[in-house]
Amino acid sequence: MLNLYTAFDVQMELTEFISQSRKLKKCSVEELSTRSGVPYGTIRKFESTGNISLRQFLMLYEVVADLKKVHALTKPESIEPSSIEQVLKNA
């Protein structure tokens, strides 16, 4: 399957998601730093470059969104049936 997204594209979208979520919650960088435990300078750098450790990203995500959504990425996807026979077989 053709994928038009690169790892960099998704990285920048996640950066934008954290930044926009923080702003929607009217949360300053200082407050996000205090609540997440991620240093202020690291958050500023992240919001401008997109670079951060996975652990620190998860710490930020936990403050602005539901960490269960990220956890769900670790679970296997259910396989969609590709024919009516498969649907009937699994019914």
How confident is the model over 37-55, as pLDDT tens digits? Answer: 999 999 999 999 999 999 9
What was the pLDDT predicted at 83?
A: 83
What was the pLDDT predicted at 9?
A: 95
**So where are the chain's domains?**
7-74
How confident is the model over 21-38, as pLDDT tens digits? Answer: 999 999 999 999 999 999
Q: What is the pTM assigned to this prediction? A: 0.80
Q: Which CATH number fits domain 7-74: 3.30.450.270, 3.30.70.260, 3.40.50.620, 1.10.260.40?
A: 1.10.260.40
At 87, list the tokens.
């649907």
CB 63 within 8 A of CB 32: yes
Percent of the chain clearing pLDDT 70 (strictly above): 98
Q: Which of 72, 29, 65 is nearest to 47 (CA)?
A: 29
